[in-house]
Structures are given as structure tokens and as C-alpha cells.
Amino acid sequence: MATLREIRRRITGVKATSKITQAMKMVAAAKLRRAQDAMIAARPYSRALDVLLKDLLSNAGDEVAKSPILFGRTIREEHTDNVLLIVVSSDRGLAGAFNTNIIRFAEARIRETYAAHFASGRVGLITVGRRCSDHFAKRGYTIVQAYPGIFSKLEFQTAHEIIEQATALFNDAKYDTVEVIFNEFKSVITQRQVAERLLPVLDKQQLIETQHSKASHEYIYEPEPSEILDVLVPRHLETQVWRALLESNAAEQGARMTAMDSATRNAKDLISSLQLSYNKARQAAITKEILEIVGGAEALAKA
Amino acid sequence: MTKSIQLKIVTPTLTVFEGEVEHFSVPGTMGPFEVLYNHAAIVSKLVPGMLKFAQTGKAEEHYFVSGGFLELHQNQGIVLADGAEHSSKINIAEVESAMENVRQRYSAHEINNDQFHIELDLLAARLAVAKQS
């Protein structure tokens, strides 16, 4: 049985830990708020851009089908195309299963959806956040570029750099599909792992749809729709990456807050059970002492 | 008076302005143009320059936009700016020293002619807006 001093030491230790987890929870809560605000602030732009893009595509007509960025290249043979995945994790741990989930999801995507590509070395990765950068670097994946440590000061410029590089690789025909994989913020306690295609912008189905849809208004275009598209499409892609970064950031803070909350609660449970055994041990010691005294007194009385 | 236009200025990171204006003007690719009530539906690319608007009974407001788009239909306008800042927020001295920096880098052959003009024009447009207020 543990001695009184051992139990007391453990209680002090667990209390200290619970103070840390409690503080981390508060910090995560404050960061979560800011992350959610940033997410909401980015919405009007991306919504307006989406509407504009749809209108332009339905007006651009046949030119759409010719643009590789929008519709993709004609692939010569099945699975001879190259896939670039942008995986977004966090920089720091202690966020529950946040990073494990996204890494597992990304690996499943590589080994299942792109199994044939992976087997022939046609999958490249751009890793965002220190966690997945470290993970994939250690396991011999092809890493085109790593962006560790971007979440301490999240800026739109980062989204711009990531997609600029991906677009350049796409345009050089080094990669034919670009996807972004990230934790989507569903609520404070739930994250959903998603893969979204960035390039080409449209798949076959969507191309047909845009060609048959009508613009919502008879716009005057200045300059020509195709010229506006040249500038608008990069903006659209940037916004999509930016959204992924913001969502992942908010999801991370939510996950950390939940994880730290349950850690604090576990610590409290542990403290109360330790306190109980401490009391029991103390009581046992007292009883033992009394018995000794009584036994000693009786022995003396007999003598 | 209901002859006002709903104007919204948004950037990728935030909504800069939202409200009713009497008229506004934007720096289009073919030069700046004025939008009045009942303007035809238009989508225009914007170049770096000045965005002005006037609200009823208020002084004209000036913003610098670094490029983007205008989408307008039925008196509802959205400016999708790459970046936007109010004229009063621009630090003139800072812009002037940045211009000096660009000139130096050009004379030291660190940047080519095209890049020099792009950067200088952008700063000059910003300076012009700052001096408006």
C-alpha cells in the first residue's frame, strides 16, 4: 500500500497538470473565437466570387473546354497522370485525435483512391503544418514543399504562395490533379476530414452544367469574360485554400479545447479518487497507532 | 429618396464597407468610371487605384484598392478587392520611402523594368489616394 507521502505527492502532481490543461483550454477557447471570426469574415468574399465565377463560366462558352486549368488536360492513358495533394494539419499537438485523423485520412486517400498512382510514384504532397510535414517526411513520401509553422500567424499570403506553387506545377504538366485535404470545422466538438479538388476547377459533369446554365443577369463585361477569368480563377483558388486553412485552424482550436476539457475533468476525477485513498490510508495509520497504544497499555496493566 | 445603391466592399479576409451610397466610382481597366443609380449590370476588372463613394449628406469617402472586380446588378454592387484601405489609413511617408526603395532596387538592377513599373505604379496609385484626404 502506498504511503501517505507518496499519495500526497501524486495529488500535487495531478493538480499541477490539471492547472496546465485548464489554462490550455482557456487559451484554445480564445483562439477558437478569433479563428471563427476570421472564418466568418472571409465568407462574403468567397460567396460573391463563387457567384461571379459561375456567371462568367456560363458566358465564356467554348473557351472553357479549352482551358486546362478549368477543365484539365486530356490524359493519354489511365493512371499516367500525377496527383498533388495539399495536406493541412496543425503545428502543435495536444489536440486530441486532430492530427492523427487527418494523417490517417490522407494516407487512406493515397493508398485507396490513388493506389495505382502511388504504386508508380505519381503522388506528390504539399504539407501544411508541422505535424503532417514531420509525419510524411519520415515515411518517404514525395514532398514537393512543406509549410511548417504557418499557424502562429496565419496570413492570406500563405494561401497565395501555396496555390501559386501548385498552379505553376499544374501548368508545367508536372501534376494533373490538385486536391486539398483538411479538417473541416463542423462544430466546436466535431471535425470532418474532407478532400476537395482544386485543379482542374471543373469536372466533366460541372462543365456540361455550366455550358447549359444561363447567366443570372445580362452583364456588360469589361474586359472580355475570358480575360476576367484569367484573373478571377487564381483568386478563386486562393480563396479555396484560404478557407481550408481557416477551417483547419478553427477545427484545431476546437479539438484542443475539447481535449483539454476532458483532460481537466479526468484530472479532477483522479484527484478525488486519490484524495479518498489518502484519507483511507491516513485513517488506517491512526487506527494502527491507537491499537498499538491500547495494546501497550493492556500489556502494562497485565504486568 | 430611395434612389440609392447597395455597395459592399469585400476583401478575402474581411468586409471593408457595407451600406447605401448615392454614387460611386471605381478604377476599371479602361479607366475609372462612375456608377449612378440604375447603371446597367456590369462585371469589370479593376486596376490598382481609387474607389470613391458618397453617402447621402456625408462627405465623399476614398479607398485605395489594389485590384479586383466589380459586380453590379439592379443597384447592388459588390467590389471584390484584392486589398482595400481607407485613405486616412495610408501613411504617406511610408509609401514615399517604399517608392524610394523601389527606385534604388531598380538602379541597383535588382528588379527588371517591368517589375519596376508595376511596383512603382501601385505605390503611386496608393499615394494619390492618400493625398486625397
Q: How many domains does chain B have?
A: 2
Whether residues B40 and B79 share a domain: the answer is yes
Q: What is the pLDDT of residue A16?
A: 95
- Closest partner residue to B43 among A41, A156, A228, by Cβ? A228
Please name which of A96, A152, A102, A101 lies closest in space to residue A127, comparing C-alpha atoms.
Answer: A102
- For residue B45, give the CATH number of its domain: 2.60.15.10
Give the residue extent of every domain in chain A: 4-20+261-302, 31-257
* Residue A138 confidence class, pLDDT cut points 50, 70, 90: very high
* Closest in B15, B40, B82 to A41, CB measured: B15
Question: Do B18 and B70 share a domain, yes or no?
Answer: yes
Percent of chain A with pLDDT over 90: 66
Look at residue A253 and tell me whether its pLDDT is greater than 90: yes
Q: Who among A45, A216, A218 is closest to B80 (CB)?
A: A45
Answer CATH for A4-20+261-302 from 1.10.3470, 3.30.420, 3.30.70, 1.10.287: 1.10.287
Confidence of residue A185 (pLDDT cuts 50, 70, 90): very high
Shared domain for B72 and B103, answered yes or no, is no
pLDDT band at A64 (very low <50, low <70, confident <90, very high): low
Same domain for B56 and B120, yes or no, is no
Q: Is the pLDDT of residue A89 over 90?
A: yes
Q: Residues B75, B19: one domain?
A: yes
Based on the fold, state whether residues B83 and B121 are members of the same structural domain: no
**Min Cα–Cα distance to chain B from A219, Å:** 5
Residues of B in contact with A221 (CB under 8 A): 42-44
CATH homologous superfamily of A31-257: ATP synthase, F1 complex, gamma subunit (3.40.1380.10)
Instruction: Please enumerate residues of B whose Cβ is less than 8 A from a Cβ of A.
Output: 8, 10-15, 28-30, 40-45, 67-69, 71, 73-74, 78, 80, 82
Domain residue limits at B23? 5-87
By C-alpha distance, the chain B residue nearest A38 is: B13
pLDDT of residue A77: 54
What is the mean pLDDT of the segment spanning A39-49? 92
Asked if B71's CB is within 8 angstroms of A52's CB, the reply is: yes
CB contact under 8 Å between A48 and B71, yes or no, is yes
Among A78-87, A91-100, B74-83, the range scoring the smallest mean pLDDT is A78-87
Name the residue among A42, A55, A222 with its Cβ closest to that of B45: A222
Task: Tell whether B37 and B74 lie within a shared domain.
Answer: yes
Whether residue B3 is predicted with pLDDT greater than 70 in this model: the reply is yes
Give the pLDDT of residue A251: 96
Same domain, B21 and B78: yes
Are B41 and B29 within one domain?
yes
Res B103: pLDDT: 87
Q: How confident is the model at residue A59 (pLDDT cuts 50, 70, 90)?
A: confident
